[in-house]
Amino acid sequence: MIQTNSPKVLRDSFNRAARKLRISVTDKCNMKCIYCMPNGNIKWIDSKEILNFKEIIRIVSIFTHLGITKIRLTGGEPLLRPSLENLIRGLIKIQNIETISMTTNGFLLEEKINQLKSAGLNSLNISLDTFREERFRTLNGISNLNKVLRGIQKASELGLKIKINTVIIRNWNDDEIINFVKFAKDTGLIVRFIEFMPLDGSGIWNHNLVVTKKEIIKIIESSFGNVISLDENNSCPSDPATVYNFDDRKGKIGFIPSITEPFCSNCDRIRLTSDGRFLTCLFEKEGYDLKKMIRNAKATDQEIINYIVNCYKMKPEGIVQLIRINQLRPTLNLMHTIGG
Ligand code: SAM
Ligand code: SF4
């Protein structure tokens, strides 16, 4: 049991409190999305360096004493981590953990979703960038789009809360925006359009490839009429996605406009990489080595808490600062190692 002679909440120098922890459970992936993975042979992190479940659970327990209540599992592709359901079972037992969500590419959902739901998984963000098989191969580097669609269907039938994440890139898939809105209307699932960020491993990012929230709304309104902002969003200012629906109330869409409307001032996220680094921001490269503290230094929980508190105070302002000083350029960080 941790004696909490420490703050009840993590607060940085911009007065932002951390509430949500994203855990990358592996850097490996079964896809090779053009906006994420490096080209050529990828050097995966050595398996000895990856945190085991016991280590993850210890770190999460420590974070709950600093105000963390929500967990998101991510990757790489989290469904590649063997026995993930055992991790979920362990996490759900930690006092003060309210929800466990996962971000996945959906490829292995069909076969794994039953056991994950039974273990206690609450909700899913599923990435889907196209409805065309050939384009799926080009954009995501794998065949069998239908397998992902079947996974979405099955998770939906099981009653999980699902959001679809769609990265729109100019001249790659911006001609499918309307189809994604139709999908949102037909299925009742929220589709969130994400602006392409310079977190690509292959260095293709440039400003021209970013299809902005404004542009997407214009395209959508020309087919479906005015979009209507939903009040529910105001109750959660830290949610990066602004949610909208339509006059006929059918279908909800969201936007994650990280480039044109960065939400850094409301950021309440922190990250744990699969090799045990604590990242206070998506754009932080090295982070702070918690694995070393628990493996080599055998630090006490209180020592780890003190370290985390001090690191978090140094959380950078975020992408908003990079934009201000005109420092957006490709490959600012590797998304598949941090988890998005
Ligand atoms: N493999 C899982 C997946 O694809 O959902 C989880 C990890 S992935 C890094 C998390 C999210 O980041 C996905 O929704 C993906 O589309 C998004 N993403 C990856 N690279 C991105 C980029 N350069 N800009 C914007 N979003 C990106
Ligand atoms: Fe893999 Fe997700 Fe990156 Fe695509 S976005 S390569 S699925 S980690």
Which ligand gives the minimal distance to the CA of 27?
Answer: 2
Spacing, Cα 191 to ligand 2 middle (Å): 18
Q: Which residue segments constitute the domains of the chain, with CATH numbers given?
A: 10-338 (3.20.20.70)
**Rg from Cα positions in the chain:** 20
Spacing, Cα 263 to ligand 1 middle (Å): 17
Spacing, Cα 9 to ligand 2 middle (Å): 31
Spacing, Cα 209 to ligand 1 middle (Å): 16
| Residue 23 host element (H or E) | strand 20-24
> What integer pLDDT is reported at residue 328 of this predicted model?
85
Residues 6 or more apart whose CB falls under 8 angstroms from that of 61 comprise: 2, 94, 301
Query: Where do the H-state alpha helices sit in the chain?
Result: 53-64, 84-92, 109-119, 133-140, 145-157, 177-187, 213-224, 290-295, 301-313, 319-324, 335-338
Spacing, Cα 164 to ligand 1 middle (Å): 11
Pocket of ligand 1 contains residue 340 by CB under 6 Å: yes
With a Cβ cut-off of 6 Å, ligand 2 is lined by 29, 31-33, 36-37, 75-77, 105, 127, 335-336
Contact 204, 35 (CB under 8 A): yes
Spacing, Cα 124 to ligand 2 middle (Å): 15
Pocket of ligand 1 contains residue 74 by CB under 6 Å: yes
Pocket of ligand 1 contains residue 129 by CB under 6 Å: no
Average pLDDT of the residues of the chain: 93
> What integer pLDDT is reported at residue 8 of this predicted model?
83
The residue contributing the CA closest to ligand 1 atom 1 is 77
Contact 237, 266 (CB under 8 A): yes
Spacing, Cα 296 to ligand 1 middle (Å): 32
Q: What are phi and psi of 55, to 5 degrees?
A: -65, -40
Tell me, rounded to whole angstroms, the distance of Cα 206 from its chain centroid: 21
**Per-state percent for the chain, helix, strand, coil, to nearest 5:** 35, 20, 45
Global model pTM greater than 0.85: yes
Indicate which atom in ligand 2 lies nearest the CA of residue 167: 5
- Rounded to whole angstroms, the Cα distance separating 163 from 123 reads 8
User: Max CA-CA distance within the chain?
Assistant: 60
* Short-list 22, 95, 2, CA closest to 303: 2
- Rounded to whole angstroms, the Cα distance separating 25 from 277 reads 12
- Rounded to whole angstroms, the Cα distance separating 278 from 23 reads 10
Tracing tokens 């855990």 back to the chain, one arrives at 23
* Short-list 337, 207, 186, CA closest to 259: 207
Residues 6 or more apart whose CB falls under 8 angstroms from that of 90 comprise: 53, 56, 57
The residue contributing the CA closest to ligand 1 atom 17 is 340
Instruction: Give how far Cα 279 sits from Cα of 75, 134, 170, 211, Å.
Output: 14, 36, 30, 28
Spacing, Cα 194 to ligand 1 middle (Å): 9
Pocket of ligand 1 contains residue 139 by CB under 6 Å: no
> What integer pLDDT is reported at residue 336 of this predicted model?
83
Indicate which atom in ligand 2 lies nearest the CA of residue 335: 3
Instruction: Give how far Cα 86 sits from Cα of 27, 261, 295, Å.
Output: 19, 38, 21
> What integer pLDDT is reported at residue 285 of this predicted model?
84
Q: Which residues of the chain fall short of a pLDDT of 70?
A: 1-7, 231-238, 240
> What integer pLDDT is reported at residue 337 of this predicted model?
83
- Rounded to whole angstroms, the Cα distance separating 279 from 271 reads 5
Pocket of ligand 1 contains residue 75 by CB under 6 Å: yes
Instruction: Give how far Cα 261 sits from Cα of 104, 107, 255, 257, Å.
Output: 25, 31, 10, 5
Indicate which atom in ligand 1 lies nearest the CA of residue 196: 24
Q: Which two tokens stand for residue 178?
A: 């309307």
Strand duo 161-168 + 190-195: pairing: parallel
Q: Which two tokens stand for residue 56?
A: 């993850």
